[in-house]
Amino acid sequence: MGKPTGFLEIVRRDRTYAPVTQRVLHYDEFVVPLSPDDLKNQGARCMDCGIPYCHAGCPVNNVIPDWNDLVYRDRWHAACDALHATNNFPEFTGRVCPAPCETSCTLNLSDSPVTIRTIECAIVDRGWAEGWLGPHIPRHRSGTRVAVIGSGPAGMACAQQLARAGHSVVVFEKAPRIGGLLRYGIPDFKLNKALIDRRIAQMRAEGVEFRPNTHVGVNCPVDHIQDRFDALVLAGGAEHPRDLTVPGRDLGGIHFAMDYLRQQNHINAGHPVPSDKRILATGKHTVVIGGGDTGSDCVGTAIRQGAASVTQIEIMPKPPEREKKDVTWPDWPLKLRTSSSQEEGCRRDWSVTTKRFSGTDGKVATLHAVRVDNAMREIPGSEFDMPANLVLLAMGFLHPVQEGLLADLGVAVDERRNVKASMDNYQTSQPHIFAAGDMRRGQSLVVWAIREGRQCARAVDAFLMGRSDLPR
Ligand SMILES: Cc1cc2nc3c(=O)[nH]c(=O)nc-3n(C[C@H](O)[C@H](O)[C@H](O)COP(=O)(O)OP(=O)(O)OC[C@H]3O[C@@H](n4cnc5c(N)ncnc54)[C@H](O)[C@@H]3O)c2cc1C
Ligand code: SF4
């Protein structure tokens, strides 16, 4: 704690966004970073609490008070080392994490937590700019081979940890490019894809081999992998989306959010989509069903595509503007949050459910809705319609795809149909097969995927070597 009175003297300041009118004209990131002086001051607000609730609130247990102090003291290189002790990819979490650490920060009791995520992001961005983040080449090779199936944040973190422990690691990915939902779900305006490419280059230098366009269980039989590797890590995400089975669902113009988002990310990367397959919001009344991150990303994308209007509906009631701190802190509270995409010009409505769709010439034109009470019972007489030429279903993901990989391997699944494996050893019903990230825990967050990837790597290392020095 560099400045004992920092939290009393300095007010919270955070990154700002470029004005809406400018940022909706492109797909680039639009966050305006803090200056080094501001970052130093914000680091000085940290009280180095005896019980650092931030540290417990962070799924990767980042040693937050340590690097806040190091930034205050202008010891950026040491801060970068401390940050990477617990997180392989802080530039991802520094951009897209909802920052449960800030929710649990003691200063959040007065609504002004330390700007932890901004400091995290500044440290790692500086680390790359200064050239402090080279590959960690292992000194010894173990002679064992591990296949990681899925290249999202869980697969990437697991592969990097295992390679650093000396194992030969091959990452299999069905998509043309590496990164999972970081690459194809989260829009470029939230996460620049060059950041993923930079980590891939680092991992390649550490010995990780990437095999894109390889769909295990489809164009690559599971036996082929089983025969050639000593251990397998299943990190294929939770890709089965929740559908809306109402009349009119089969009309044209109703799509799953990921089919829509993936296309725009492809196009931004210079990979055209055939015009007859293109899903575009341009000039259309666009309705996004589902109020979470995925829905927000659809909103921001539709606005950039020039939608005639964007409406986001949610079946749950509108959350309170403010949480009751004495009841919720340091846990994640239910409260109204407005994403940068929602700020860009979207109408939001809560306690609404979709009854049916109607349209002409096989294309959707109207969404017929009804209001529900807090127990989600329909309120008689509250039916209403809204124009909808494009409907995006962003109601979450149910579980991993069962066909192919999981069915062929025959690993047990839990009652939610996620791969069954405990957080102690990440081992599935077959001892040499492990699972991590959304494929094991269900739809979650990037930071949880990184945590599970890291912990799973340690479990695999211990399984192969009898012990492990990798951190948990
Ligand atoms: C649109 C959207 C926005 C999101 N925004 C945020 C956010 O802002 N912040 C946040 O923290 N979280 C966000 N999330 C959640 C977050 O992206 C996920 O929790 C996280 O990516 C899960 O990581 P993962 O590695 O477990 O799986 P994924 O990222 O889903 O990666 C799994 C990979 O496995 C591959 N795969 C699957 N099966 C096979 C197979 N048989 N063979 C080969 N490859 C296979 C898939 O192609 C995919 O690339 C968002 C999710 C979505 C959908
Ligand atoms: S809880 Fe907040 S003030 Fe306390 S150590 Fe963590 S970041 Fe610093």
Nearest in space to 170 (alpha carbons), one of 214, 217, 221, 219: 214
What whole-number distance in Å separates Cα of residue 10 and Cα of residue 41? Answer: 7
Per-residue pLDDT at 207 = 97
pLDDT level of residue 370 (50, 70, 90 thresholds): very high
Query: How many Å apart are CA 413 and CA 433, to the nearest integer?
Result: 13
At 310, the pLDDT band (50, 70, 90 cuts) reads: very high
Nearest-CA residue for ligand 1 atom 33 is: 150
Give the largest Cα separation in the chain, rounded.
Answer: 71
Q: How confident is the model at residue 14 (pLDDT cuts 50, 70, 90)?
A: very high
Q: Read off the pTM.
A: 0.97
pLDDT at 472 over 90: no
* DSSP secondary structure code for residue 251 in this structure: S
Beta strands in 39-160 (DSSP E): 145-149
Burial classification of residue 276, based on how many CB atoms lie within 10 Å of its CB (0-12 exposed, 13-18 middle, 19 or more buried) = exposed
Q: Which residues contact 48 (CB under 8 A, 6 or more apart)?
A: 1, 65, 68, 69
pLDDT at residue 1, rounded to an integer:
72
Task: Collect contacts of 272-281 with beta carbons under 8 A, ≥24 apart.
Answer: 279/255, 279/390, 280/305, 280/390, 281/305, 281/306, 281/307, 281/310, 281/390
Atom number of ligand 1 nearest to Cα 218: 41
pLDDT at 362 over 90: yes
Test site for ligand 1: of 190, 342, 446, most ligand atoms within 8 A of the Cβ: 446
> In the numeric block, which tokens belong to residue 377?
């019972």
Looking at the DSSP bridge assignments, the partners of residue 391 are 254, 287
The single-letter code of the amino acid at 63 is V
pLDDT tens digit string along 376-397? 999 999 999 999 999 999 999 9
DSSP structure class, residue 186: S
32-67: string of b/e by CB count within 10 Å (b at 16+)? Answer: eebeeebbbbbbbbbbeeeebbbbebbbbbbbbbbb
Round to the nearest angstrom and report the end-to-end CA distance of the chain. 26
Q: Give strand pairing partners of 419.
A: 413
CA 267 to centroid of ligand 1, rounded, Å? 19
Q: Which CATH superfamily is domain 243-395 in?
A: FAD/NAD(P)-binding domain (3.50.50.60)
Q: DSSP assignment of 394-456, as one string?
A: ---EEE---TTHHHHHT--B-TTSSBP--TTT-B-SSTTEEE-THHHH-S--HHHHHHHHHHH
Instruction: Summarize pLDDT for 28-80 with one digit per residue, the tens.
Output: 999 999 999 999 999 999 999 999 999 999 999 999 999 999 999 999 999 99
Specify the pLDDT at position 198: 98
Residue given tokens 């319609």 in the structure block:
385
Mean pLDDT (whole number) for 435-454 = 98
Which of 164, 188, 104, 213 shows the shortest CA–CA distance to 453? Answer: 164
Dist. CA 295–CA 186, nearest whole Å: 11
Cβ atoms of 42 and 93 closer than 8 Å:
no
pLDDT higher than 80, residue 120: yes
Cβ pair 211, 225 in contact under 8 A: no
Answer whether the bond into residue 317 is a cis peptide, omega within 30°.
Answer: no
- Does the beta carbon of 234 lie inside 6 Å of ligand 1? no
The dihedral formed by the CA atoms of 422, 426, 427 and 433, expressed in degrees to the nearest 10: 140
Tell me whether the CATH fold assigned to 6-130 matches the one assigned to 145-239+399-465: no
CB 408, CB 226: distance < 8 Å: no
Test site for ligand 2: of 14, 107, 109, most ligand atoms within 8 A of the Cβ: 107
Does 217 sit in the ligand 1 pocket, CB within 6 Å?
A: yes
Q: Are 101 and 64 in contact (CB under 8 A)?
A: yes
Mean pLDDT computed over every residue of the chain: 97
Among candidate residues 202, 254, 271, the one with its CA nearest the CA of residue 364: 254
d(CA 120, CA 38): 14
How many Å lie between the centroid of ligand 1 and the Cα of residue 180?
Answer: 5
Distances (CA, A) of 93 to 100, 135, 303: 11, 20, 24
**pLDDT value at position 27?**
98
Each domain of the chain, given as residue ranges in start order, spans 6-130, 145-239+399-465, 243-395
Best of 3, 68, 86 to mutate for ligand 2, by most ligand atoms within 8 A of CB? 68
In what side-by-side order are the strands of the sheet with 209-211?
A: 209-211, 168-172, 145-149, 231-234, 433-435
SS3 107: helix
Q: How many CB atoms lie within 10 A of CB 313?
A: 21
Whose Cα sits closest to atom 2 in ligand 2?
Answer: 105
Q: Quote the tokens at residue 304.
A: 């950039």
Closest listed ligand to the CA of 191: 1
Q: Does residue 2 have a pLDDT over 80?
A: no
Task: For 6-130, give the CATH class.
Answer: mainly alpha
Q: Which ligand number lies closest to the CA of residue 107?
A: 2
Ligand 1 atom at minimal distance to the Cα of residue 179: 49
Average pLDDT (231-241) is 98
Contact between 299 and 346 (Cβ < 8 Å): yes
On whether the CB atoms of residues 427 and 436 are closer than 8 A, the answer is no
d(CA 32, CA 136): 31
Pick the CATH number of 145-239+399-465 from 3.30.420.40, 3.50.50.60, 3.30.565.10, 3.20.20.70: 3.50.50.60
Q: Partners of 434 in the beta sheet? A: 233, 427
Please determine, for residue 373, whether its predicted confidence score (pLDDT) is greater than 90.
Answer: yes
